[in-house]
Structure 1
Amino acid sequence: MTYYESTGHLLLTPVDREAPARAVRLRELGLGERADAELDAFARKVGETAGTPYAAVNFIDEDRQFFAGLHHRAGAPAGAYTGRVLARAHGYCPHVVVRRRALVLEDVRDFARFAPNAVADESGVRSYLGAPLTDRQGFVLGTVCAVDLQPRRWGREGLETIKALATELVALLHAREDAAATAREAG
Protein backbone atom coordinates (compact mmCIF):
# COMPACT_ATOMS: atom_id res chain seq x y z
CA MET A 1 0.00 0.00 0.00
CA THR A 2 1.22 3.49 -0.78
CA TYR A 3 0.92 6.07 1.99
CA TYR A 4 0.55 9.81 1.55
CA GLU A 5 0.89 12.76 3.90
CA SER A 6 -2.21 14.87 4.52
CA THR A 7 -0.80 17.27 1.90
CA GLY A 8 -1.04 14.53 -0.73
CA HIS A 9 2.74 14.03 -1.02
CA LEU A 10 4.15 10.52 -1.15
CA LEU A 11 5.65 9.42 2.17
CA LEU A 12 9.21 8.22 1.61
CA THR A 13 9.17 6.10 4.76
CA PRO A 14 6.11 3.89 5.14
CA VAL A 15 3.80 4.04 8.14
CA ASP A 16 4.73 1.20 10.50
CA ARG A 17 1.71 0.23 12.57
CA GLU A 18 3.43 -2.86 14.00
CA ALA A 19 6.35 -0.90 15.50
CA PRO A 20 5.07 -0.73 19.11
CA ALA A 21 4.44 -4.48 19.32
CA ARG A 22 7.74 -5.18 17.54
CA ALA A 23 9.62 -3.04 20.07
CA VAL A 24 8.15 -5.14 22.89
CA ARG A 25 9.12 -8.38 21.12
CA LEU A 26 12.68 -7.11 20.49
CA ARG A 27 13.04 -6.32 24.21
CA GLU A 28 11.77 -9.82 25.08
CA LEU A 29 14.45 -11.29 22.82
CA GLY A 30 17.17 -8.91 24.03
CA LEU A 31 17.73 -7.59 20.50
CA GLY A 32 18.27 -4.15 19.08
CA GLU A 33 20.13 -2.50 21.95
CA ARG A 34 23.75 -3.60 21.63
CA ALA A 35 26.27 -4.87 19.13
CA ASP A 36 26.45 -8.64 18.96
CA ALA A 37 29.62 -10.49 17.89
CA GLU A 38 27.66 -13.46 16.54
CA LEU A 39 25.47 -11.14 14.46
CA ASP A 40 28.54 -9.23 13.28
CA ALA A 41 29.91 -12.56 12.04
CA PHE A 42 26.60 -13.27 10.33
CA ALA A 43 26.66 -9.85 8.65
CA ARG A 44 30.19 -10.59 7.44
CA LYS A 45 28.88 -13.87 5.96
CA VAL A 46 26.12 -11.92 4.18
CA GLY A 47 28.62 -9.41 2.77
CA GLU A 48 30.97 -12.15 1.61
CA THR A 49 28.13 -14.19 0.09
CA ALA A 50 26.71 -11.17 -1.73
CA GLY A 51 30.15 -9.74 -2.57
CA THR A 52 29.25 -6.34 -1.12
CA PRO A 53 31.29 -3.88 0.96
CA TYR A 54 28.49 -3.53 3.54
CA ALA A 55 26.01 -5.91 5.15
CA ALA A 56 23.89 -5.75 8.26
CA VAL A 57 21.52 -7.44 10.65
CA ASN A 58 19.12 -4.64 11.42
CA PHE A 59 16.41 -4.44 14.10
CA ILE A 60 13.83 -1.66 13.82
CA ASP A 61 11.82 -0.24 16.68
CA GLU A 62 9.45 2.72 16.79
CA ASP A 63 12.08 5.43 16.34
CA ARG A 64 15.28 4.00 14.93
CA GLN A 65 17.17 1.21 13.27
CA PHE A 66 19.90 -0.62 15.16
CA PHE A 67 22.56 -2.63 13.37
CA ALA A 68 23.21 -5.38 15.91
CA GLY A 69 25.29 -7.11 13.25
CA LEU A 70 27.40 -4.99 10.92
CA HIS A 71 29.99 -5.73 8.26
CA HIS A 72 32.15 -3.06 6.67
CA ARG A 73 34.69 -4.66 4.34
CA ALA A 74 38.26 -3.45 4.87
CA GLY A 75 39.11 -0.73 2.39
CA ALA A 76 35.49 0.26 1.75
CA PRO A 77 34.73 3.98 2.08
CA ALA A 78 33.95 4.96 5.66
CA GLY A 79 30.80 6.96 4.93
CA ALA A 80 28.21 4.21 4.52
CA TYR A 81 26.89 1.82 7.14
CA THR A 82 29.66 2.29 9.68
CA GLY A 83 27.54 3.42 12.65
CA ARG A 84 25.17 1.17 14.57
CA VAL A 85 22.18 3.53 14.71
CA LEU A 86 20.24 5.01 11.82
CA ALA A 87 17.07 7.09 11.86
CA ARG A 88 13.99 5.12 10.92
CA ALA A 89 13.38 7.51 8.02
CA HIS A 90 16.71 6.60 6.38
CA GLY A 91 17.50 3.63 4.24
CA TYR A 92 15.46 0.84 2.78
CA CYS A 93 15.08 -1.64 5.66
CA PRO A 94 11.93 0.08 7.01
CA HIS A 95 10.27 -0.64 3.65
CA VAL A 96 11.17 -4.32 3.92
CA VAL A 97 9.72 -4.49 7.43
CA VAL A 98 6.42 -2.83 6.51
CA ARG A 99 6.11 -4.75 3.21
CA ARG A 100 6.97 -8.02 5.02
CA ARG A 101 8.88 -9.22 1.98
CA ALA A 102 12.29 -8.91 0.37
CA LEU A 103 13.32 -5.82 -1.54
CA VAL A 104 15.76 -5.78 -4.44
CA LEU A 105 17.04 -2.42 -5.68
CA GLU A 106 19.64 -2.87 -8.39
CA ASP A 107 20.03 0.91 -8.65
CA VAL A 108 18.14 3.02 -6.12
CA ARG A 109 18.18 5.94 -8.53
CA ASP A 110 15.86 4.03 -10.85
CA PHE A 111 12.98 4.33 -8.35
CA ALA A 112 11.33 7.65 -7.51
CA ARG A 113 10.24 6.27 -4.14
CA PHE A 114 13.74 5.13 -3.13
CA ALA A 115 16.15 7.52 -4.84
CA PRO A 116 15.65 10.54 -2.53
CA ASN A 117 16.97 8.92 0.64
CA ALA A 118 19.65 10.03 3.08
CA VAL A 119 21.68 6.83 2.66
CA ALA A 120 21.85 7.43 -1.07
CA ASP A 121 22.43 11.18 -0.78
CA GLU A 122 24.91 11.20 2.12
CA SER A 123 26.57 7.81 1.84
CA GLY A 124 26.46 7.05 -1.85
CA VAL A 125 24.46 3.83 -1.58
CA ARG A 126 23.38 2.70 -5.04
CA SER A 127 22.10 -0.85 -4.57
CA TYR A 128 20.28 -2.71 -1.82
CA LEU A 129 19.24 -6.29 -1.20
CA GLY A 130 17.24 -7.02 1.95
CA ALA A 131 14.91 -9.63 3.43
CA PRO A 132 12.67 -9.58 6.49
CA LEU A 133 13.46 -11.47 9.69
CA THR A 134 10.05 -12.94 10.54
CA ASP A 135 9.95 -14.81 13.83
CA ARG A 136 7.71 -17.73 14.83
CA GLN A 137 5.17 -15.33 16.35
CA GLY A 138 4.79 -13.54 13.01
CA PHE A 139 6.73 -10.41 13.97
CA VAL A 140 9.04 -8.91 11.39
CA LEU A 141 11.88 -8.01 13.76
CA GLY A 142 14.06 -6.32 11.18
CA THR A 143 16.13 -7.26 8.18
CA VAL A 144 19.27 -8.83 6.88
CA CYS A 145 20.69 -6.77 4.04
CA ALA A 146 23.58 -6.27 1.65
CA VAL A 147 24.49 -2.84 0.29
CA ASP A 148 26.82 -1.56 -2.41
CA LEU A 149 27.96 1.81 -3.65
CA GLN A 150 27.68 0.60 -7.24
CA PRO A 151 24.59 -0.57 -9.11
CA ARG A 152 24.27 -4.38 -8.93
CA ARG A 153 22.48 -6.96 -11.02
CA TRP A 154 21.12 -9.05 -8.15
CA GLY A 155 18.65 -11.05 -10.22
CA ARG A 156 16.63 -13.97 -8.93
CA GLU A 157 19.80 -15.56 -7.52
CA GLY A 158 20.42 -12.56 -5.27
CA LEU A 159 16.82 -12.56 -4.11
CA GLU A 160 16.87 -16.27 -3.28
CA THR A 161 20.24 -15.91 -1.52
CA ILE A 162 19.12 -13.07 0.78
CA LYS A 163 15.89 -14.90 1.60
CA ALA A 164 17.84 -18.06 2.48
CA LEU A 165 20.20 -16.04 4.68
CA ALA A 166 17.20 -14.48 6.45
CA THR A 167 15.75 -17.95 7.10
CA GLU A 168 19.10 -19.11 8.47
CA LEU A 169 19.35 -16.10 10.77
CA VAL A 170 15.79 -16.51 12.08
CA ALA A 171 16.65 -20.12 12.96
CA LEU A 172 19.67 -18.84 14.91
CA LEU A 173 17.48 -16.30 16.77
CA HIS A 174 14.93 -19.02 17.59
CA ALA A 175 17.70 -21.28 18.91
CA ARG A 176 18.84 -18.44 21.17
CA GLU A 177 15.30 -17.89 22.41
CA ASP A 178 14.84 -21.60 23.09
CA ALA A 179 18.17 -21.83 24.96
CA ALA A 180 17.22 -18.83 27.12
CA ALA A 181 13.83 -20.40 27.93
CA THR A 182 15.48 -23.70 28.85
CA ALA A 183 17.98 -21.86 31.08
CA ARG A 184 15.14 -19.98 32.83
CA GLU A 185 13.23 -23.23 33.44
CA ALA A 186 16.34 -24.94 34.81
CA GLY A 187 17.38 -21.93 36.89
Structure 2
Amino acid sequence: MTYYESTGHLLLTPVDREAPSRVLRLRELGLGERSDAELDAFARRIAETAGAPYAGVNFIGEERQFFAGLHHGPEAPARGYPARVLARDHGYCPYVVARRRALVLEDVRDFARFAGNAVVDESGVRSYLGAPLTDRRGIVLGTVCAVDTVPRRWGTEGLATIKVLAAELVDRIHRREDSGGGW
Protein backbone atom coordinates (compact mmCIF):
# COMPACT_ATOMS: atom_id res chain seq x y z
CA MET A 1 0.00 0.00 0.00
CA THR A 2 1.27 3.48 -0.81
CA TYR A 3 0.83 6.19 1.80
CA TYR A 4 0.54 9.90 1.17
CA GLU A 5 0.85 12.91 3.43
CA SER A 6 -2.18 15.20 3.69
CA THR A 7 -0.45 17.45 1.14
CA GLY A 8 -0.68 14.69 -1.46
CA HIS A 9 3.08 14.01 -1.49
CA LEU A 10 4.34 10.43 -1.47
CA LEU A 11 5.30 9.44 2.06
CA LEU A 12 8.76 7.92 1.66
CA THR A 13 8.84 6.33 5.10
CA PRO A 14 5.79 4.11 5.58
CA VAL A 15 3.44 4.41 8.53
CA ASP A 16 4.76 2.32 11.43
CA ARG A 17 1.91 1.39 13.75
CA GLU A 18 4.09 -1.00 15.79
CA ALA A 19 6.57 1.67 16.90
CA PRO A 20 5.18 2.13 20.45
CA SER A 21 5.21 -1.61 21.22
CA ARG A 22 8.65 -1.95 19.59
CA VAL A 23 10.10 0.80 21.78
CA LEU A 24 8.77 -0.93 24.92
CA ARG A 25 10.16 -4.29 23.81
CA LEU A 26 13.57 -2.80 22.98
CA ARG A 27 13.73 -1.25 26.46
CA GLU A 28 12.77 -4.59 28.00
CA LEU A 29 15.61 -6.27 26.09
CA GLY A 30 18.09 -3.47 26.79
CA LEU A 31 18.57 -2.76 23.09
CA GLY A 32 18.59 0.33 20.94
CA GLU A 33 20.09 2.90 23.29
CA ARG A 34 23.84 2.26 23.18
CA SER A 35 26.45 0.77 20.91
CA ASP A 36 27.67 -2.70 21.70
CA ALA A 37 30.99 -4.39 20.84
CA GLU A 38 29.28 -7.76 20.23
CA LEU A 39 26.81 -6.16 17.83
CA ASP A 40 29.65 -4.25 16.13
CA ALA A 41 31.37 -7.63 15.62
CA PHE A 42 28.14 -9.04 14.21
CA ALA A 43 27.90 -6.08 11.81
CA ARG A 44 31.49 -6.76 10.71
CA ARG A 45 30.50 -10.37 10.03
CA ILE A 46 27.56 -9.18 7.93
CA ALA A 47 29.87 -6.94 5.90
CA GLU A 48 32.42 -9.70 5.38
CA THR A 49 29.76 -12.26 4.45
CA ALA A 50 28.06 -9.89 2.01
CA GLY A 51 31.32 -8.40 0.73
CA ALA A 52 30.01 -4.92 1.52
CA PRO A 53 31.86 -1.88 2.89
CA TYR A 54 29.12 -1.05 5.41
CA ALA A 55 26.84 -3.13 7.62
CA GLY A 56 24.68 -2.57 10.63
CA VAL A 57 22.42 -3.90 13.33
CA ASN A 58 19.74 -1.24 13.49
CA PHE A 59 16.96 -0.78 16.05
CA ILE A 60 14.09 1.48 15.04
CA GLY A 61 12.31 3.79 17.47
CA GLU A 62 9.40 6.14 16.92
CA GLU A 63 11.53 9.10 15.81
CA ARG A 64 14.98 7.69 15.11
CA GLN A 65 17.08 4.70 14.18
CA PHE A 66 19.99 3.53 16.28
CA PHE A 67 22.80 1.35 14.90
CA ALA A 68 23.81 -0.58 18.03
CA GLY A 69 26.09 -2.59 15.76
CA LEU A 70 27.98 -0.86 13.00
CA HIS A 71 30.79 -1.69 10.60
CA HIS A 72 32.62 0.71 8.33
CA GLY A 73 35.28 -1.21 6.41
CA PRO A 74 38.70 0.22 5.58
CA GLU A 75 37.83 0.18 1.86
CA ALA A 76 34.71 2.25 2.47
CA PRO A 77 34.83 5.89 1.41
CA ALA A 78 35.14 8.29 4.35
CA ARG A 79 32.00 10.35 3.77
CA GLY A 80 30.68 10.49 7.31
CA TYR A 81 28.49 7.45 6.75
CA PRO A 82 27.27 5.51 8.48
CA ALA A 83 26.28 7.30 11.65
CA ARG A 84 25.05 5.56 14.80
CA VAL A 85 21.87 7.63 14.86
CA LEU A 86 19.73 8.53 11.87
CA ALA A 87 16.36 10.19 11.59
CA ARG A 88 13.59 7.68 11.01
CA ASP A 89 13.01 9.01 7.49
CA HIS A 90 16.62 8.33 6.39
CA GLY A 91 17.67 5.08 4.82
CA TYR A 92 15.82 1.90 4.06
CA CYS A 93 15.68 0.02 7.37
CA PRO A 94 12.44 1.73 8.50
CA TYR A 95 10.80 0.45 5.33
CA VAL A 96 11.96 -3.13 6.10
CA VAL A 97 10.56 -2.81 9.62
CA ALA A 98 7.18 -1.40 8.57
CA ARG A 99 6.61 -3.96 5.83
CA ARG A 100 8.08 -6.82 7.94
CA ARG A 101 10.01 -8.25 4.97
CA ALA A 102 13.54 -8.27 3.64
CA LEU A 103 14.44 -5.70 1.03
CA VAL A 104 16.96 -5.94 -1.80
CA LEU A 105 17.86 -2.78 -3.70
CA GLU A 106 20.55 -3.44 -6.26
CA ASP A 107 20.54 0.23 -7.31
CA VAL A 108 18.44 2.53 -5.16
CA ARG A 109 18.19 5.03 -8.02
CA ASP A 110 16.10 2.53 -9.99
CA PHE A 111 13.19 3.09 -7.59
CA ALA A 112 11.54 6.51 -7.29
CA ARG A 113 10.45 5.74 -3.73
CA PHE A 114 14.04 5.06 -2.62
CA ALA A 115 16.10 7.28 -4.93
CA GLY A 116 14.95 10.44 -3.15
CA ASN A 117 16.07 9.25 0.27
CA ALA A 118 18.55 11.52 2.05
CA VAL A 119 21.19 8.78 2.40
CA VAL A 120 21.58 8.67 -1.37
CA ASP A 121 22.71 12.28 -1.69
CA GLU A 122 24.27 12.79 1.75
CA SER A 123 26.10 9.49 2.03
CA GLY A 124 26.40 8.04 -1.44
CA VAL A 125 24.41 4.87 -0.73
CA ARG A 126 23.65 3.05 -3.97
CA SER A 127 22.65 -0.46 -2.92
CA TYR A 128 21.02 -1.99 0.14
CA LEU A 129 20.31 -5.45 1.50
CA GLY A 130 18.32 -5.74 4.73
CA ALA A 131 16.21 -8.18 6.73
CA PRO A 132 13.92 -7.68 9.73
CA LEU A 133 14.76 -8.83 13.25
CA THR A 134 11.44 -10.36 14.32
CA ASP A 135 11.35 -11.60 17.91
CA ARG A 136 9.33 -14.47 19.38
CA ARG A 137 6.44 -12.12 20.16
CA GLY A 138 6.19 -11.15 16.51
CA ILE A 139 7.60 -7.66 17.09
CA VAL A 140 10.03 -6.42 14.46
CA LEU A 141 12.82 -4.89 16.56
CA GLY A 142 14.92 -3.56 13.71
CA THR A 143 17.12 -4.88 10.93
CA VAL A 144 20.43 -6.29 9.90
CA CYS A 145 21.71 -4.71 6.71
CA ALA A 146 24.57 -4.43 4.27
CA VAL A 147 25.14 -1.28 2.20
CA ASP A 148 27.38 -0.33 -0.69
CA THR A 149 28.20 2.90 -2.52
CA VAL A 150 28.04 1.20 -5.91
CA PRO A 151 25.20 -0.79 -7.50
CA ARG A 152 25.36 -4.46 -6.43
CA ARG A 153 23.78 -7.65 -7.65
CA TRP A 154 22.89 -9.16 -4.28
CA GLY A 155 20.71 -11.80 -5.94
CA THR A 156 18.79 -14.56 -4.24
CA GLU A 157 21.97 -15.72 -2.51
CA GLY A 158 22.39 -12.32 -0.84
CA LEU A 159 18.74 -12.31 0.18
CA ALA A 160 19.01 -15.80 1.68
CA THR A 161 22.23 -14.87 3.48
CA ILE A 162 20.85 -11.71 5.11
CA LYS A 163 17.76 -13.64 6.27
CA VAL A 164 19.95 -16.33 7.87
CA LEU A 165 22.03 -13.67 9.62
CA ALA A 166 18.87 -11.97 10.91
CA ALA A 167 17.57 -15.28 12.29
CA GLU A 168 20.91 -15.96 13.94
CA LEU A 169 20.93 -12.60 15.68
CA VAL A 170 17.33 -13.00 16.87
CA ASP A 171 18.33 -16.38 18.32
CA ARG A 172 21.19 -14.68 20.21
CA ILE A 173 18.81 -12.04 21.54
CA HIS A 174 16.40 -14.74 22.75
CA ARG A 175 19.20 -16.73 24.41
CA ARG A 176 20.31 -13.61 26.27
CA GLU A 177 16.75 -12.90 27.34
CA ASP A 178 16.23 -16.50 28.51
CA SER A 179 19.42 -16.46 30.56
CA GLY A 180 18.32 -13.26 32.32
CA GLY A 181 21.24 -11.32 30.90
CA GLY A 182 20.62 -7.92 29.47
CA TRP A 183 22.24 -6.65 26.38
TM-score normalised by length of structure 1: 0.95
Contact 1:54–1:147, Cα closer than 8 Å, also in 2: yes
**Residue in structure 2 matched with residue 4 of structure 1 by the alignment:** 4
Q: Per the alignment, do residues 75 and 156 of structure 1 end up closer, same or farther by CA in structure 2, a change over 3 Å counting? A: closer
**Residue in structure 2 matched with residue 151 of structure 1 by the alignment:** 151
Contact 1:131–1:163, Cα closer than 8 Å, also in 2: yes
Contact 1:80–1:119, Cα closer than 8 Å, also in 2: no
Q: Per the alignment, do residues 82 and 9 of structure 1 end up closer, same or farther by CA in structure 2, a change over 3 Å counting? A: closer
SS at structure 2 position matched to 1:180: coil
Please list every run of at least 4 consecutive aligned residues from structure 1 whose deviation after the TM superposition is greater than 6 angstroms.
Answer: none
**Residue in structure 1 matched with residue 136 of structure 2 by the alignment:** 136
Written as runs of structure 1 = structure 2, the 5 A alignment for 1:104-183 is 104-180=104-180
Provide the rounded CA distance (Å) in 2 between the counterparts of 1:159 and 1:119.
21
SS at structure 2 position matched to 1:114: helix
| 1:68-87: CA deviation from partner (whole Å, max 9, x where unpaired) | 00000013112253321000
Unaligned ranges ≥5, structure 1: none
The residue identity in structure 2 corresponding to 1:104 is V
**Residue in structure 2 matched with residue 40 of structure 1 by the alignment:** 40
The residue identity in structure 2 corresponding to 1:69 is G
**Residue in structure 1 matched with residue 70 of structure 2 by the alignment:** 70
Unaligned ranges ≥5, structure 2: none
**Residue in structure 2 matched with residue 25 of structure 1 by the alignment:** 25
**Residue in structure 2 matched with residue 85 of structure 1 by the alignment:** 85
Query: What is the CA RMSD across the aligned residues, in angstroms?
Result: 1.2
Provide the rounded CA distance (Å) in 1 between the counterparts of 2:139 and 2:131.
13
Structure 2 residue 97 is the aligned partner of structure 1 residue 97: yes
**Residue in structure 1 matched with residue 59 of structure 2 by the alignment:** 59
TM-score normalised by length of structure 2: 0.97
Between the two proteins, the alignment pairs up a number of residues equal to 182
